[in-house]
Amino acid sequence: MELRSKTLAGKVTFRGVGIHTGEVSKLTLHPSEDKGIFFYRKGELLPALHPFVVNAVASTDLAKGNFLVKTVEHLTAALYLLGVDSVLIEVEYGSEVPILDGGAKTFVEEVLSVGLRETGRRQTLLRVKEKVRVQPNGNFIEVLPFEGELFEYEGEFPFVGRKRAVFDGKPTEALLGARTFCRLEDFPLLWANRLGLGGYPVNTLALDESLRYLVYSEEPAYHKLLDLIGDLALLGGRLVGRVYSFKGNHLLNHQLREVLLKGGYLEREEAGASRGREPLRPSASGTAS
């Protein structure tokens, strides 16, 4: 398995409310010749990598010093699905990635509108060497050796029952468009805890007995799968293996990353990246330099 490293062919900007803070933020993605996904703000760099995760409850948040970026998982999933592993994400204002459509569809469409280009390197591959299972309670995630990439999610959801979603290397509309969700009756509790303040029908699936807001029955499972992909993107490479998650969540995804990285379960095949250079920063013109 060999994949070519990609970056953007031009810059693209996203502006919108954060799902939890309800505050408006603005991000601009810039092309980068150097390997890695980095958030950037006023001279500060924050790598989109596991060691910088500071919260994995209800969302995945990154921080380095006082530089905090909340709810990164839909954006990192979109970049992973596009094969983009070299990009500089300038945080112009705000602290949370915009929720936009509630999934990854808008991110993917807008990035594709400016195009992609190869960097001349191979992507870093992370091969699963042996079976590993993380099971704190009744939920679990299992990772096995597999020549390719296969992500599966299965869970029980309010009012729709048990559903399953699969990603086999080819993004589908079902995966990209799956919105974040919760039970309709849970909104007051979320708001009381300062969560979901940016939730609206356009970006959040509210589940109730009528199922009137459901676009397709597997939508909750596909959104959980999208979260899984975005969270595992923080491993810092393309995972070569099979991942099966049963009732997993952000916290379990975080625990899995910890086990994979510290337990020696991954064989790293490094890309031929340049060395001794800092990630690119945007110039005054807005392009990477």
Which are the contacts of 217, defined by CB distance < 8 A and separation ≥ 6?
160, 163
DSSP at 83: T
Confidence bin at 245 (pLDDT 50/70/90): very high
Question: Which of 89-103, 111-125, 192-206, 223-237 is least confident?
Answer: 192-206
> DSSP alpha helices (H): ranges in the chain?
73-82, 105-114, 173-176, 187-192, 219-232, 250-262
Least Cα distance to 104 among 180, 31, 52 occurs for: 180
Read off the pLDDT of residues 74-93 as tens digits, 9 standing for 90 and up.
999 999 999 999 999 999 99
By CB atoms closer than 10 A (0-12, 13-18, 19+), residue 170 is exposed
Looking at the chain, the domain(s) classified CATH 3.30.1700.10 span 126-269
pLDDT at 288: 36
Q: Which CATH superfamily is domain 4-123 in?
A: lpxc deacetylase, domain 1 (3.30.230.20)
Read off the pLDDT of residues 173-205 as tens digits, 9 standing for 90 and up.
999 999 987 777 777 777 777 777 777 667 788
Q: Which CATH number fits domain 126-269: 3.40.50.300, 3.40.50.2300, 3.30.1700.10, 3.30.360.10?
A: 3.30.1700.10
Main-chain dihedrals φ then ψ at residue 81, nearest 5 degrees: -65, -30
Confidence bin at 286 (pLDDT 50/70/90): very low
pLDDT at 258: 98
C-alpha torsion angle, residues 34, 39, 45, 50 (rounded to 10): -90
Percent of the chain with pLDDT strictly greater than 70: 90
Higher pLDDT, 46 or 287: 46
pLDDT at 208: 76
Confidence bin at 289 (pLDDT 50/70/90): very low
| Element counts in the chain: helices (H) and strands (E) | 6, 19
The two three-digit tokens of residue 99, written as one number: 């929720």
- Given a cut of 60, whether residue 279 has pLDDT beyond it is no
Query: Catalytic positions, please?
Result: 250
What mean pLDDT is reported for the chain? Answer: 90
Mean pLDDT of 251-280: 78
Confidence bin at 278 (pLDDT 50/70/90): very low
pLDDT at 221: 97
Question: What span, in angstroms and rounded, lies between the C-alpha atoms of 8 and 110?
Answer: 11
Looking at the chain, the domain(s) classified CATH 3.30.230.20 span 4-123
- What are the Cα distances from residue 152, in Å, to 45, 218, 241, 244, 274? 33, 12, 11, 5, 34
Q: Evaluate whether 19 touches 96 at the Cβ level (below 8 Å).
A: yes
Helix, strand or coil, per DSSP, at residue 214: coil
pLDDT at 271: 60
